[in-house]
Chain A
Amino acid sequence: KAGVTQTPRYLIKTRGQQVTLSCSPISGHRSVSWYQQTPGQGLQFLFEYFSETQRNKGNFPGRFSGRQFSNSRSEMNVSTLELGDSALYLCASSRTSSYNEQFFGPGTRLTVL
């Protein structure tokens, strides 16, 4: 079974721009969660989607948003990029919203200049 995939793997943007990241979960998994990983803050939860609905949201500004499609693929968007948004963005999938074994994708490395 194919694992979680994320595209693109690397992105370089400038301040003020916006970016869209994509995540394809493991086949049959319906829940997708997004995390931001930085050296200083570690892994921080952004949001979780299940059946095209945002089920939970972390403590991030409204510039961070996401969505999920009917095939469970998910996208996250960051608008008006700031230098501090530079991070590794990881998505993780699980079978259902309350089935906790989560499997991570390889991440998208975002650099904001």
Chain B
Amino acid sequence: GENVEQHPSTLSVQEGDSAVIKCTYSDSASNYFPWYKQELGKRPQLIIDIRSNVGEKKDQRIAVTLNKTAKHFSLHITETQPEDSAVYFCAASNPSSGYSTLTFGKGTMLLVSP
């Protein structure tokens, strides 16, 4: 089955800096890669996703890049703000399997200091 590795497990940055979180996956058939943000005590929320027919997607201060050859994808957050502090999860899925099943990485705790 699919296996998703996520690094780093914790990341501390100063407000205004950029943050990068990286994930690798094992199943070359996977072609949907969402990122979720989970604040303390809250539900995971989808913040951005990418499908394998594109290499990069941006939404304001966040962007995701995908390298299908190397089987890795990354989340980039620019101009970080204290409210970006949360745990971020990457995931991978193969929709052609007919299932919605997401395989998650172990998460990255991002701390943005003012």
Contact = CB atoms under 8 A, between A and B. Distances in A.
Interface of B is mostly: mixed
Contact of B104 (A42, A96, A103, A107): A42
B43 A94 contact: no
Nearest to B87: A42
Counting chain A CB atoms within 10 Å of each CB, the highest count among B46, B99, B104, B107 belongs to B99
Nearest to A59: B1
B43 A43 contact: no
A56 B99 contact: yes
A45 B102 contact: yes
A100 B43 contact: no
A30 to B, nearest CB: 10
Interface residues of B, number: 25
B99 A101 contact: no
B44 A42 contact: no
A105 B98 contact: no
Contact of A106 (B42, B46, B106): B42
Nearest to B95: A98
Contact of B102 (A98, A102, A105, A106): A102
Contact of B107 (A4, A42, A103): A42
Interface in B67-114: 89, 91, 93, 95-107
B98 A42 contact: no
Contact of B89 (A4, A43, A100, A107): A43
Interface of A: 4, 31, 33, 35, 42-45, 48, 55-56, 58, 90, 92, 94, 96-107
Question: What are the 8 closest A-B residue pairs judged by CB atoms, nearest first?
Answer: A43-B104, A56-B99, A104-B43, A42-B106, A100-B32, A98-B95, A104-B44, A94-B100
